[in-house]
Amino acid sequence: MRRDIFQAIADPTRRAILTLIALQAMTPNAIADNFHTTRQAVSKHLRILTECNLVKQEQQGREIYYSLEIEKMKEIDKWLEQFRKIWEARFNQLDNLLLTMKKRKK
């Protein structure tokens, strides 16, 4: 199933997890210590983030460490930037149209 990346980051806990592991790679237990929620709930959030490729896992000894997939986060910014550009292009066209309308009125 293709996960909706924006749905993934719409959740406040998942956003907090991303902020935490942006600083350093962490184990699920260490992440869970930061939240008043069950470890299972944190595991579920981590699974969703992994399915969206927003985080990556690395085995170190017996522990699994989660860290941020920076390239994927950049994709989101790029996506939003494109959306912004569409509006910019639209409004520039509207500027020209308004100018034409003003001239016609005079």
Partner 1 sequence: MNDNLLFDFTVDKAAKTVYITREFDADLSLVWDAFTKKELLDQWIAPKPMTAKTKYQDFKVGGKRFYAMISPEGVERWAIQEYTSITPKTNFKMYNAFADKDENPELPGSDWDHTFSEQNGTTTVSITIYNESLERMERILDGFTKGMKMSLHNLENLLATLSQRQ
Q: Which residues bind partner 1 (CB under 8 A)?
A: 4, 6-7, 9-10, 12, 15, 79-80, 82-84, 86-99, 101-102, 105
The nearer residue to partner 1, 59 or 82, going by C-beta atoms, is 82
φ and ψ at residue 35, rounded to 5 degrees? -125, 145
Distance, in Å, from the CA atom of 95 to the CA atom of 88, rounded to the nearest integer, reads 10
| In the complex, least distance from residue 62 CB atom to partner 1, rounded to whole angstroms | 35
| In the complex, least distance from residue 23 CB atom to partner 1, rounded to whole angstroms | 21
Number of CB atoms found within 10 A of residue 45's CB = 24
Answer for the pair 3, 14: CB distance below 8 angstroms, yes or no.
Answer: no
The nearer residue to partner 1, 9 or 20, going by C-beta atoms, is 9
φ and ψ at residue 66, rounded to 5 degrees? -105, 135
The nearer residue to partner 1, 39 or 83, going by C-beta atoms, is 83
